[in-house]
Amino acid sequence: MVLLRRVIGDTLRAQRLAQRRTLREVSTAARVSLGYLSEVERGQKEASSELLSSICDALGVQLSEMLRDVSDTIAIAESSMGVLEPVGDLEMVSEPRARVRAAHDVVAAA
């Protein structure tokens, strides 16, 4: 399963590193704690809508742009899930959602 918070975290970190800024700089600008920003970047914490706006703001990117990058990354992951799975069950290949559900069941059962 593609985890949204992980892709958001990767996208925010990539943007910060592209600007050669430290966690401390961006967390100060965004008025969030360094630890919180670090956890968000590592996909360990869900960022609230307000704090996601603040972080995008601090990075000088529009929230919509960031989400578009995230959407593009997830779309690639979704399509590769469709391509890379064994082709034994054609219905599952054409319906990646069924596989996501199966993966979710595994997580839910754990």
Asked whether the CA dihedral 67, 72, 76, 81 is positive or negative, the reply is positive
CB 59 within 8 A of CB 19: yes
Using rule CB under 8 A, residue 107 touches a copy of itself: yes
CB 43 within 8 A of CB 10: yes
Which of 17/98 has CB closer to a copy of itself? 98
Amino acid type, 1: M
C-alpha 60: how far from chain center: 18
Question: In whole angstroms, how close is the CB of 24 to a copy of itself at the nearest point?
Answer: 19
Using rule CB under 8 A, residue 6 touches a copy of itself: yes
Residues that bind a copy of itself (CB under 8 A): 1-6, 31, 46, 48-50, 52-54, 57, 60, 62-65, 67-68, 70-72, 74-75, 78, 96-97, 100-101, 104, 107-108
